[in-house]
Chain A
């Protein structure tokens, strides 16, 4: 089976890859940034471990959203069940386009959510009782990842195969 005769499937797979790897990379960057700040706090006060760990995890959701869209895409084109559907190239491109939002927004928002988390970890370090408020700032950034996820899910679902 030549790859050229099955270009549609290649595009669709590329879409799943974009969703997973861009959003995952964003989360990795974000969790990494927040983790450095969290480790700093724990060296000073190990009792804040649980709180800063939660903060560090907040930018981790983008990667999960990417995984989610990737998974929906794979099951949509039938790669998971074994029998891959024969896709037209244009259908594959549609799926690739549908995967774009969560990939790109996931990458960027992951990074910035990580930076916001790091700042919020600073709040927790100085005023542990303000945990509830501190948690909101990173959650604000995440909103846009959720919106992108929504559009990606809806779009992937809407493509007719």
Chain B
């Protein structure tokens, strides 16, 4: 339950061991690089930009090749395959693959080239289809489109507006070109956009006729084929077919290369790792013969590094405690149960330097509240079993996913327990089924009580759990103040608030308001009433006097103190916020009952049973999904807003070690023997 202690490690070694040492550090993955020696200390930095970019390009190339393979030879993936995590690859296989990296890169190049060819062919096909399209109106023409006529006769080819009749064409020619009389107009085709016509006239009149036609909107076709349109079309189609065949062939070729998918993944990861290494290398200060690596390391990993590096290579290893002003990255270390909620803490923010890690305490409340909000034994069992099976089946899933599933498994168990306490098994399915199908209502009794029958009682408990949660939060704040050596702050900001709040609570319990909510009158002995009043008064007076203690001006100090006392409204709303424990718990139970009720409406018999089963499965799946989401969101909220609001800041930097940051494969560590 803590934040791991960090130290700074500096390794100064000979340049000839540089590659080996860096590779060793990378595979150990325990140091976050942070160089301190500057260039003015007699060190230079190496320019590794080009090498790095080269590696990144190759990694990208393998990525592109994989994407192409996925496109033409998709891999069947089950819904849960995202849980499988990275494949484990043996050291030997990895080395063998890396040794063949040139051929693999060549394959990737070939894949990319083939893909490009396919794309070009597809573009060509599109172009050809467009040509066919523009050719289609002229198919009836049985001379080549670029045929201009005989010695004496000219042929004009073109389009005019759709509604032009042959008469109008003749009329146009007659009005605009009077001298011509030998003109023949033939309409080849009419569609909704235009008419397509061929005009024959004497070659001498051709210019005048065309001029006349143009006045009527005549335009020559934009593309003119040198063959008869029908022949040309056949040619184009043959060409398209050829291109299609070629595409087919290339695709087939790509499919045959699907087997090198794994090699490409490995090689991509290899280049990614090398790019990382060169990035680090570029930041390392180096002199003529030596270089220095420096960074943050968890204390418990120091010995391992000393053993793996210090005893093997000629080097000096220097381990220091961190300086006061140094903000080290944070790693959390918790037991198997509590570490499952680390993901929740991370999404809020890791503890900053010197801050208390609340994971352990939070984990208990988290699981407790989650179960209370969902509170159905059957739902809890389903969640817990489903998470357990997935965890067992996919042992290599990503760490974050593993933690989340484990968290939901614990929450499921908690839900199961709360469900038994409140008597909820798929809502009231036992009552409904026994009542509908067996004619005799059987109820599974709640171990504690049924919330719907006595909501006020659960409300009081919810708020009481809230008070405990908040008090623990305030307690952690006190602990941190004491640890930082601020006893005055501890007294003023924590002890006085405890006194004030406990006093108020003790005063509230014997009142009629509380009695009407709790439905039970509680009477305290007189000394306890006295104690309550005393505590509250000490608290409020102390707060008024002390909260503004940083101010010299007494009037301002009192005013600030009074303002701090006003925070009691914040406490009130925080506590009331825990009423969601009741509300969400009721929601699950009541909706489950609605589902069961609807299912039972089909009555007895086979139809009734089938109808019931359908409604039951669909209804409860939906209810489980929506309430699981609700419980998750609101448990988070109770932790983040109410609990963390009392003491926690966060804002720590996550630990990002220099490691083999692969995407597809993990390399199995093998001990050298």
Interface residue ranges, A against B (CB under 8 Å): 54, 57-58, 60-61, 64-65, 67-68, 71-72, 80, 130-133, 135-136, 139-140, 142-143, 146-147, 149-150, 153-154, 157
Contact = CB atoms under 8 A, between A and B. Distances in A.
A147 B19 CA distance: 63
Contact of B583 (A57, A130, A139, A150): A150
Interface centre among B344, B630, B636 (most CB of A within 10 A): B630
Interface in B619-673: 626, 629-630, 633-634, 636-637, 640-641
B587 A132 contact: no
Contact of A68 (B346, B590, B636): B590
B636 A132 contact: yes
A60 B623 CA distance: 12
B347 interface: yes
A39 B597 CA distance: 35
Interface in B557-600: 576-577, 579-580, 582-584, 586-587, 590-591, 593-594, 597
Interface of B: 344, 346-348, 455-456, 459, 576-577, 579-580, 582-584, 586-587, 590-591, 593-594, 597, 626, 629-630, 633-634, 636-637, 640-641
Interface centre among A57, A68, A147 (most CB of B within 10 A): A68
Contacts of B576: 147
Contact of A153 (B455, B580, B593, B636): B455
B33 to A, nearest CB: 21
Contacts of A143: 577, 580, 637
Given A136-B637, A154-B455, A68 B587 contact: yes
B372 to A, nearest CB: 14
Contacts of B587: 61, 64-65, 68, 149
A17 B663 CA distance: 54
Contact of A150 (B579, B590, B591): B579
Given A54-B629, A139-B637, A132 B579 contact: no
Nearest to A157: B455
A51 to B, nearest CB: 12
Contacts, number: 73
Interface centre among B583, B629, B640 (most CB of A within 10 A): B583
26 contacts: A57-B629, A58-B629, A58-B633, A61-B630, A64-B591, A68-B586, A71-B591, A71-B593, A72-B590, A132-B346, A132-B348, A135-B633, A136-B637, A136-B640, A136-B641, A140-B641, A143-B577, A143-B580, A146-B579, A146-B583, A146-B584, A146-B634, A149-B587, A150-B579, A150-B583, A153-B583
A68 B630 CA distance: 15
A80 B577 CA distance: 32
B586 A153 contact: yes
Instruction: Tell me the dominant secondary structure on chain B's binding face.
Output: helix
A157 B641 CA distance: 30
A68 B593 CA distance: 10
Contacts of A67: 591, 594
Nearest to B589: A68
Closest 4 CB pairs of A and B: A132-B347, A146-B580, A68-B590, A139-B637
A153 to B, nearest CB: 6
Contacts of A146: 579-580, 583-584, 634
A150 B585 CA distance: 11
A135 B626 CA distance: 15
B342 to A, nearest CB: 12
A11 B580 CA distance: 28
A133 B347 contact: yes
A64 B582 CA distance: 15
Nearest to B576: A147
A135 B579 CA distance: 20
Contacts of A54: 629
Contacts of A139: 633-634, 636-637
A149 B597 contact: no
A103 B583 CA distance: 15
B583 A149 contact: yes
Nearest to B594: A71
Contacts of B593: 71
B456 A154 contact: yes
A138 to B, nearest CB: 8
Nearest to A149: B583
A78 to B, nearest CB: 13
A157 B453 CA distance: 9
A16 to B, nearest CB: 12
Given A139-B637, A143-B580, 15 more contacts: A58-B629, A60-B626, A72-B590, A130-B347, A131-B347, A132-B347, A132-B348, A132-B636, A136-B637, A136-B640, A146-B634, A147-B576, A150-B579, A150-B582, A150-B583
A12 to B, nearest CB: 17
